[in-house]
Structure 1
């Protein structure tokens, strides 16, 4: 299970405020709140996360608190990293189109312009209203 990571990002595309959840098969995790591209203002938030490995695959479950999500989430993307060194491969739910890649460009999971539309209401119901979060209060837009 060397070099396996899954990352998911939820973005408010108007403010460029987003949350990044990163999980690994041995239970490691990282949560970042970002205000603008690559600008983490909160790091290492606690996360309820368990993972199990069966054969050559793994499964993880996490409880993502509403307080971690920026207000007005309207886009998302998700990535997986497999392997290490020269054998490392990257997968994206919404990849950067090949015509937009530059020769020798390394992976950058914070290419917010390639995130795609997403609605929390699609999961919670159209009448659902996201609770306010103290973590995001006072963060400049």
Structure 2
């Protein structure tokens, strides 16, 4: 069996990332940083975060002064190899925090969250912009 090193020329999964930015450190090498999508719907935003292997109790969502904070941690397995050695370890452990500005008018009760099959879905309402009347200021 032949194993191709992850950062070799033949690693086609990361070929374009490495080709266009060879000097950039690959975040998957050392940190746990899940991908996040933000989708705008008619009356709310959906924030989706890929959190495979993260337990529900290790995810914390808080709202403070209109800023939504998403914190999660993932523990590494603590098993030792009995009959062999680890050739490659790509699964990482760690923690991360992401923040999203929602506006001061959003309340905690307006936000919902669910975790299904390793995907966290947060729904936050859109703020309706108050129509500001434009007035001309006279110069004396």
Q: Shorter-chain TM-score category?
A: under 0.3
Bigger radius of gyration: 2
TM-score by length of 2: 0.26
TM-score by length of 1: 0.26
